[in-house]
Amino acid sequence: VDSGVLGPYAERIGFVASAKLSLDACALSHTTGKTVLEFVEQAQRQHPDAGSPELFPFWNRTRQTLCPL
Taking only the tens place, the pLDDT of each residue in 46-68 is 999 999 999 999 999 988 887 87
Is the per-residue pLDDT at 17 higher than 70?
yes
Global pTM reads: 0.86
Contact 8, 53 (CB under 8 A): no
Q: What is the pLDDT of residue 1?
A: 54
Q: How many domains does the chain have?
A: 1
Residues 6+ apart with CB under 8 A from 64: none
Distances (CA, A) of 39 to 8, 16, 50, 64: 19, 18, 12, 15
Domain that holds residue 52: 3-66
Q: Is the pLDDT of residue 2 over 90?
A: no
